[in-house]
Amino acid sequence: MAEPGCPGSVGPNQPILKSAHQGRIEGEAAAASGPTFDTPSYFWKMGTWFKLPLGYRNPWPAKESTPALTRIEDYKQALAKMPNKGFDPKTGRYNPDLQKRTGIDGIFAFWMPSKRYVERNRYNVTGLRPCEAGRPRPTDRDYVVEFQITWPFLPGSESAGATRVFRAAQERLGEGDRLFGQGGITYEHSLDGPISGSRDYFIYDDDGDLAVKMTCWTLQGIQMAPEPTCSGHIWQRSSDLVLYAMFPADKGQVGVDQLWREPVMAAIGLAKQWRWQGPGNSNE
């Protein structure tokens, strides 16, 4: 569902936002400040480096921390101070002994089908078809995908904690048991047959390489706020990549049509595109 009654500050006649902190208050444009959305930024996860346009990081980083994301040395200094990262400033590598706790350390968002970054702060917007300044009102074809990288192209994904949900599902199915939601009257499940969308539903699919396990809300409330969503885990074994993603429930499964494949493969494709060999001897 598109955002009802686009606020004037994000209407189609407004200038397109170029910066995360080019905010608008009561319809008046504030001066742009800080790096623009297309500025290259850095992300590090368990020793794997990513380089991507700043606009894909959404919800937007705090204004005071945004510049450090675009300067490699500043970013490495910030990493060393984050207890949920495990970054060793002496070696520049991942050290699990330095990781004191886990947590969300990178959320990205993009539009489908264009795959461009989102020009609204998702911290303040709940829907997945938000209006944007200077852009046409989203149609049902347009929607936002949000995702996190939980296992970043590292060997051993088959035994990682990030893939535990798939190992548990494989074990249950291998023993002849059903997954949660199968065979009941409260939920629908893709393993039971076509999805009508009249009840909350689950998606489970595993072709030996790509495995997906998601929870989706009923399609009957598709015109209501908040917009129903699908969210869950994605594992591509051949890449040793695990993501956690969210997108509208009407892009999950309808009947036997696995609409989820398009946003899932788009998220995987962006993660691969952003993968970077790291600073090394770079002067960036």
So where are the chain's domains?
8-128, 147-265
pLDDT in tens, the chain (284 residues): 667 778 878 888 889 999 887 654 333 344 446 789 999 999 999 999 999 999 999 999 888 888 899 999 999 999 988 888 899 988 989 998 888 766 657 899 999 999 999 999 998 887 899 999 999 999 999 999 999 999 999 999 999 999 999 999 999 999 989 999 898 889 999 999 999 999 999 999 999 999 999 999 998 766 666 789 999 999 999 999 999 999 999 999 999 999 999 999 999 999 999 999 987 534 34
Q: How many residues does the chain have?
A: 284
Place of tokens 């984050």: 82
- Burial code (b: 16+ CB inside 10 Å, e: under 16) for 165-198 equals bbeebeeeeeeeeebebbeeeebbbbbbeebebe
Entry pTM:
0.91
CA dihedral 123→125→126→131, nearest 10 degrees, is -150
